[in-house]
Copies of this chain bind each other. A is one copy, B any other.
Amino acid sequence: MYFPSWLSQLYKGLSRPIRRTTQPIWCSLYRRLVQSSQRRNPEFNSFAVRTNTCGELRSSHLGQEVTLCGWIQYRRQNTFLVLRDFHGLVQVVIPQDESAASVKKILCEAPVESVVRVSGTVISRPAGQENPKMPTGEIEIKVKTAELLNACKKLPFEIKDFMKKTEALRLQYRYLDLRSFQMQYNLRLRSQMVMKMREYLCNLHGFVDIETPTLFKRTPGGAKEFLVPSREPGKFYSLPQSPQQFKQLLMVGGLDRYFQVARCYRDEGSRPDRQPEFTQIDIEMSFVDQTGIQSLIEGLLQYSWPNDKDPVVVPFPTVTFTEALATYGTDKPDTRFGMKIIDISDVFGNTEIGFLQDALSKPHGTVKAICIPEGAKYLKRKDIESIRKFAADHFNQEILPVFLNANRNWNSPVANFIMESQRLELIRLMDTQEEDVVLLTAGEHNKACSLLGKLRLECADLLETRGMVLRDPTLFSFLWVVDFPLFLPKEENPRELESAHHPFTAPHPSDIHLLYTEPKKARSQHYDLVLNGNEIGGGSIRIHNAELQRYILATLLKEDVKMLSHLLQALDYGAPPHGGIALGLDRLICLVTGSPSIRDVIAFPKSFRGHDLMSNAPDSIPPEELKPYHIRVSWPTDSKAERAH
């Protein structure tokens, strides 16, 4: 009862990531978080007008005179008060004797969420009144003096209902939302983890933390870059999407090992779960190869990983882009579970089933399948229907469900055409069990894999909503994906090439000759780091040869080389071989804390439409303030009409 529902909600939230402990305790969790990065606990009361935090008091403090500052969380019948700070809750006994009337008045009249300072003695709770669920549950504070530091006005909603409110309301009153234990935990974990990353990079491995400018020049093809008008007519800065050029120039400048927790900008308009500004752990080093960067990052994550999670096991497994596509149908596979894509073309060499025959007769034609464990038990007929519909609608592909238990092959008459020998071979190849379902499709390799990759994830979600435990929630499954193609055909004009990642990516050493013959086939030295099916980082060995860089930019990509002349010139003046990586910090912390959205690990995020719902940014600007920047608003015609009304 000392924990209003929204708090216990949060405790539950906190418990999730802690190795299935059944009695998660905020305080011990927090202490573990704190201890991990240094020898002793930080001093939370230094420089402050309190002696202790509310949450730290224990039986060991009995008899101590303490001064606490905190928010009134809860009051019961004018006898008890629960005081809260970032560290936790503590029970305060409201004095009832006449001589303490003024103290009683303050503590009884202050509205909930008001800020008070109390001084008093730590005493034992009366026998039987201890609260084992509360970390401070053995003690309470016998108050001598109290001071109302700030009264809280009536809140726009009951704070205990707050977490149930819409996200828009949480963002509008972000300063109230931040008081929740979950937000406190997320932001503190983020701070701790970044601090440990810095220790690893700076103190252990000699990396130099260097700040690079954010007011820069637009990059070729730099759509999605925010513009910043300057006071020179027609001249604009751009907010870069990453410090890519600067970090390479630092290597040319002999800085050798650079890192930065870098603010980056990307204007993608409205996209869910993206932010117009975001943070990446940006790293570059000289005289390194791909395996060097991989070891560096494995060590970094291992060192900075929160102590309340299972330790990170290194090295991380590596798959090539081609393998990832063939096995998981995606370049960011969720490797927490199996259900891999299996090529079963050989089984159906002489099939009578029409669409399989068709597919196999074409170039790159294959038959592929995934096995849904216990699918016969967990999936319903309508699930299979919607899977088939999805395949038809989005991939123009047929899906054939195959049940081992033959009499359950609903809606799949063709399945009867599968011969017994084929069934046995299927069972052997796919290692299927009695209650499994095999989803089979046929067609061009990449397309078939992509479809099955999508279905694999859909089915996993479906099985879990039906109660199967497919992915261990405490598991963090890292994976390197390597050997990406260097170029992709341009979407608008597939005969032209564009960089698969960015034009500074070095080609795979074995494929350099292909640049001059079949550039489309050249692989790159790009690598992605994937965690639980999310891309959390990517990087590459860069081109350090000016001639090669010019050839790729001008001849292959047909970019305007002038805009990058400073970089090309730098490569000419003794650029060392170098490579690097960037980790998406928001996404990483989101996964580590098990948060539903990256907005839950950012103190003041924008809404998906790019608005700050608290302050109402972006905002109108009076025309006279635009003048120094030599710009005018071009009102769209229809909104001009609107404004006229």
Contact = CB atoms under 8 A, between A and B. Distances in A.
A591 interface: no
A269 interface: yes
Nearest to A626: B227
Interface string A17-54: 00000000000000000100110001110111110000
B235 A619 contact: yes
A277 B213 CA distance: 7
A436 interface: no
Contact of A606 (B38, B215, B228): B215
Contacts of A85: 254, 256
A616 B150 contact: no
User: 8 closest Cβ contacts across the A-B interface?
Assistant: A178-B253, A42-B206, A217-B617, A152-B574, A47-B292, A235-B618, A175-B252, A230-B618
A194 interface: yes
Given A115-B576, A176-B253, A217-B612, 8 more contacts: A42-B203, A44-B206, A47-B288, A174-B253, A179-B254, A213-B606, A215-B617, A227-B229
A178 B231 contact: no
A632 interface: yes
Interface string A281-308: 0000111110011011000000000000
A332 interface: no
Contacts of A619: 217-218, 235-236, 238
A75 to B, nearest CB: 14
Interface stretch (A365-373, A410-418, A531-539, A634-642): A634-642
A469 interface: no
B573 A213 contact: no
A145 interface: no
A44 B85 CA distance: 42
Interface residues of A, number: 140
Interface of A: 34, 37-38, 42-44, 46-50, 69, 71, 84-86, 113-115, 117, 149-153, 155, 173-179, 183-184, 187-188, 190-192, 194-195, 198-199, 202-218, 223, 226-239, 245-246, 249-250, 252-257, 263, 265, 267, 269, 276-277, 279, 285-289, 292-293, 295-296, 544-546, 566, 570-577, 602-604, 606, 610, 612, 614-621, 625-627, 629-636, 639
B288 A49 contact: yes
Contacts of A626: 227
Given A287-B48, A606-B213, A618 B237 contact: yes
A205 B195 CA distance: 13
B228 A239 contact: yes
Contact of A217 (B203, B211, B616): B616
A149 B204 CA distance: 27
A37 B199 CA distance: 10
Most buried by B among A42, A288, A544, A617: A617
B205 A46 contact: yes
B153 A203 contact: no
A618 B236 contact: yes
A551 to B, nearest CB: 16
A629 B184 CA distance: 36
- Copies of this chain present: 2
Given A47-B292, A49-B289, A574-B114, A214 B617 contact: no
Given A150-B575, A227-B228, A211 B256 contact: no
A211 B621 CA distance: 26
A175 B248 CA distance: 9
A265 to B, nearest CB: 8
Contacts of A635: 233-234, 630
A232 B602 CA distance: 24
B205 A43 contact: yes
Contacts of A267: 231
A544 B150 contact: yes
A50 B215 contact: no
A263 B42 contact: no
Contact of A603 (B38, B210, B216): B210
Contacts of A177: 253
B46 A217 contact: no
A195 B191 contact: no
Contacts of A631: 229, 631-634
Contacts of A250: 175, 178, 603
A444 to B, nearest CB: 36
A314 to B, nearest CB: 13
Given A179-B254, A250-B178, A615-B566, A277 B606 contact: no
A286 B603 CA distance: 17
A433 B574 CA distance: 60
Given A184-B255, A214-B277, A577 B47 contact: no
Contact of A615 (B216, B223, B639): B216
